[in-house]
Structure 1
């Protein structure tokens, strides 16, 4: 059963279901549809003798907190607690553990038996933008530099992009493509000519052939490898 302690949320199954419910709920999805997805994703847990009760408890609390508690689910949880069937999984445990578990179950039932005044607020989605530098190369005139990097949002690869910068906040993008780990390299032939070497299977979503800023103009040469 993977139990940690006698608390209603003191086990892996409960926490996994509860957390996954709110991961979807916080994305703006309807709690009823989220419940259907949870039941589908955790079918084995809901069907398993050892995991079933904690699965139902985790889903019930999540539904209660979002004011979407299914009456059928509530009835199932109520019958489990009042019949003492959940305590059967603790058979052989010290009497003190049984008493603590029973107290936790009784408190949980009282809690979900009274409708929550307001649904739990959705947490704002995490947005963490990071980059992995691939190329950083100053031009011979030392007025500008070329940079290319992989972009990640919340740890997931998004795209690979590049830009020429003439100082902090001054510059513009040169190319974009999708393809993590693709080869990309560059060299300045002179201060007005940038040569880009790249994997020939790259498909660019943006590919500029020139650059310009405040009178500084040049060209970009692309060489597939």
Structure 2
């Protein structure tokens, strides 16, 4: 458990529990089912005496007015047993005092009047409805050198869609004709560690509406090869915003890496 403070959600596990539970609420999963699924995801914590599951789950439920009586009972029991205070005692008296106070505040909150159920709005997510497998994008750096990228798949998650781009093994000043373009192969990264030789893949993202889309970051679609097979499995690669991607490509083209 990585902790950065004494508050209820100031550690990795508690934060993950809260996030998962709130996502179920955002998805309009019924309360009982949201509780069951969250517990199932963290089943290895169910029997822990320190309440590592029950305390943050109860706190997360109380925040949105959906506190389950059984979850509350387990959380209160864990707090009354001293929960994880032995661990905090090792961090020093000040940290122990702060953690104790945080748990007592939560105890009072769980036993007090609960707010009405709240509806949580889903966060904005980018839906990729423009790029498709088979699209070829070009990016030209200020020095006139151009790199090419082929869309080989669209990775979709609750946080947004992002294309997977193979870096094509070509750099020049003029985009090749379609018959040459269609036959270009992807650059390969050498095997390293437990990873075999693999394509060099970029996965540009948008996290906010204000983040630029591909054509706003300087990329141009130069071809679309219909029927291009999408790669089923996600390939490990570089991830980042389109703007950061364009800056990285520019550096590679400037220094001759590509």
* Fold conserved between structures, TM > 0.5: yes
Query: Is contact 1:25–1:122 with CA below 8 Å preserved after alignment?
Result: yes
The residue number in structure 2 matching 1:27 is: 27
Shift of 1:27: 0.9
Instruction: List aligned pairs for 1:18-97, cutoff 5 A.
Output: 18-48=18-48, 52-97=50-95
TM-score norm. by structure 2 comes to 0.51
The residue number in structure 2 matching 1:3 is: 3
The residue number in structure 2 matching 1:132 is: 131
Q: Secondary structure at the match of 2:124?
A: coil
Shift in alpha-carbon separation, 1:36–1:135, aligned structure 2, 3 A: same
Shift in alpha-carbon separation, 1:156–1:25, aligned structure 2, 3 A: farther
TM-score norm. by structure 1 comes to 0.57
The whole-number CA distance in structure 2 between the counterparts of 1:30 and 1:24 is: 8
Q: Which segment drifts farther, 25-34 or 88-97?
A: 88-97
Number of residue-to-residue matches in the alignment: 160
Query: Is contact 1:63–1:69 with CA below 8 Å preserved after alignment?
Result: yes
Bigger radius of gyration, 1 or 2? 1
The whole-number CA distance in structure 2 between the counterparts of 1:85 and 1:22 is: 23
Shift of 1:151: 6.7
Shift in alpha-carbon separation, 1:128–1:79, aligned structure 2, 3 A: same
Instruction: List aligned pairs for 1:1-225, cutoff 5 A.
Output: 1-48=1-48, 52-130=50-128, 131-132=130-131, 134=135, 154-155=160-161, 198-199=227-228
Shift of 1:80: 2.1
Structure 1 unaligned spans of 5+: 137-148, 158-179, 188-194, 203-225
- The structure whose residues are more often strand, as a share, is 1
The whole-number CA distance in structure 2 between the counterparts of 1:18 and 1:197 is: 43
C-alpha distance after superposition, 1:76-116 (max 9, x if no partner): 22222233243123233311111111111111111122232
Q: Secondary structure at the match of 1:155?
A: strand
Shift in alpha-carbon separation, 1:127–1:10, aligned structure 2, 3 A: closer
C-alpha distance after superposition, 1:102-140 (max 9, x if no partner): 11111111112223232222213534123437159xxxx
Q: Secondary structure at the match of 1:115?
A: coil
The whole-number CA distance in structure 2 between the counterparts of 1:123 and 1:30 is: 15
Query: Is contact 1:26–1:123 with CA below 8 Å preserved after alignment?
Result: yes
Query: Is contact 1:135–1:186 with CA below 8 Å preserved after alignment?
Result: no
RMSD over equivalenced CA pairs, Å? 3.6
Shift of 1:54: 2.7
Query: Is contact 2:9–2:56 with CA below 8 Å preserved after alignment?
Result: yes
Q: Secondary structure at the match of 2:67?
A: coil
